[in-house]
Chain A
Amino acid sequence: DGGITQSPKYLFRKEGQNVTLSCEQNLNHDAMYWYRQDPGQGLRLIYYSQIVNDFQKGDIAEGYSVSREKKESFPLTVTSAQKNPTAFYLCASSIWGGGKGEAFFGQGTRLTVV
Chain B
Amino acid sequence: AQSVTQLGSHVSVSEGALVLLRCNYSSSVPPYLFWYVQYPNQGLQLLLKYTSAATLVKGINGFEAEFKKSETSFHLTKPSAHMSDAAEYFCAVSPKANSGGGADGLTFGKGTHLIIQP
Using a CB–CB cutoff of 8 Å, the interface residues on chain A facing chain B are: 4, 6, 31, 33, 35, 40-43, 45, 48, 50, 56, 58, 88, 90, 92, 94-108, 110
Query: A35-B103, A43-B44, A110-B41 provided; 19 other pairs, C-beta below 8 A?
Result: A6-B43, A31-B102, A33-B104, A42-B109, A42-B110, A42-B111, A50-B100, A50-B104, A94-B103, A95-B101, A96-B101, A97-B100, A99-B94, A100-B94, A102-B46, A102-B49, A105-B36, A107-B43, A108-B41
**Using Cβ atoms and an 8 Å threshold, which residues of chain B touch A41?**
110
**Using Cβ atoms and an 8 Å threshold, which residues of chain B touch A96?**
100-102
What are the 9 tightest A-B residue pairs by CB atom distance, in nearest-first order?
A94-B102, A105-B43, A99-B94, A42-B110, A103-B103, A97-B101, A105-B44, A31-B102, A43-B108
Contacting residue for B42 out of A50, A102, A104, A108, CB 8 A = A108
**Using Cβ atoms and an 8 Å threshold, which residues of chain B touch A50?**
100, 104
**Using Cβ atoms and an 8 Å threshold, which residues of chain B touch A42?**
90, 108-111
